[in-house]
Amino acid sequence: MKKTNSLPIFALGAAISGHAYAIHVDGNINEWLVSNTTWAAKAGIESTVEDWTRTGNGYLNPGYGGQAYDAEALYATIESGKLFIALATGHNPQTLTSGNNYGAGDFAIDFGKNGSYELGINYLNPSATQAAAAIDRFGVQGGVYKNPIWALGLWGDNGAYKKSEHPTSLLDGTKIGDAFMVVNYVGVTGYGQYQTDVHYFYEMSLDLSLLYNAGWDGMAFNIHWTENCANDSILVDPPGAVPEPGSIALLTAGLLGLAGMRRRKTAR
């Protein structure tokens, strides 16, 4: 699993001023891409890109499956009190978990980047029925869950067989809100190094208050996604646009102090 960062992240001042770096959750892929060929993101958006290289008999690192199971690129940014996430994948989001087929997983957020994954964003397959595997049916579309119970993937780094890594789908959890999610269910071509490949996209946003509700302390975290088979996984660290709570207090105090100095100067 390869980690590739975007350009330097915007500073606190840009976050306060509301500079428009956000991923618009409207299905328009080209709004947040600089290059269709390399999956490169626009400035202010953190990205991980790992399009498979057509070598190793469909090897995706860590699993196999070729384009149909490739997690190609994951994006994240924070703006105006919201976390924005986008995913590019060769995996059809309407694939069911049945037999040798494996459906899409859910989005997992790991506070502290220690493998604990304390928050889940649910993707509900619209093609699944009650007769389908229960792993495709938990919760509601876009539901945000704390204290999640995860189904875990079978593949770890370097293709090692591990049952304790890579959260795939939510099995249970406490719903604390909803993310706004748009999914491209019709595959498109013209993206990535191999322009004839078919790709699907997820876009979503959620209030940062939901992260705090789930126990986030304002520190670093990452976002993870994989399919239920964990043939391929991808994670990204969002930009550090949210300062630590102490930094916010210091900044507020500083601004109030400057305002007071200005009032005193005007009075004199």
24-42 residues labelled b (16+ CB within 10 A) or e (exposed)? ebeeebeebbbeeebbbbb
In this predicted model, what pLDDT tens digit does every residue of 49-98 receive, in sequence order? Answer: 877 666 666 666 666 667 788 888 899 999 989 999 999 999 999 988 77
Against a cut of 0.85, is the pTM above it? no
Q: What average pLDDT is seen over the chain?
A: 76
Query: According to the per-residue pLDDT averaged within each range, which of 17-21, 58-62, 154-158, 204-208 is highest?
Result: 204-208
* The pLDDT of residue 174: 97
**Does pLDDT of 116 surpass 70?**
yes
- Which of left, alpha, beta for 257 (phi over 0: left; psi -120 to 50: alpha)? alpha
Q: Where are the alpha helices (DSSP H) in the chain?
A: 12-17, 208-213, 245-267
Query: In this predicted structure, which of 62-66, 121-125, 131-135, 161-165 has the lowest mean pLDDT?
Result: 131-135
Domain ranges of the chain: 12-243
Residues 6 or more apart from 91 whose CB is under 8 A from it? 68, 69, 70, 71, 104, 200, 227
In this predicted model, what pLDDT tens digit does every residue of 23-49 receive, in sequence order? Answer: 999 998 889 999 988 889 998 898 888
- Residue closest to 157 by CA, chosen among 74, 61, 52: 61
In this predicted model, what pLDDT tens digit does every residue of 187-207 receive, in sequence order? Answer: 999 998 888 889 999 999 999
Looking at the DSSP assignment, which residues form a beta bridge with residue 104?
227
Q: Is the dihedral of CA 256, 257, 263, 266 positive or negative?
A: negative
- Residue closest to 110 by CA, chosen among 230, 30, 215, 201: 215
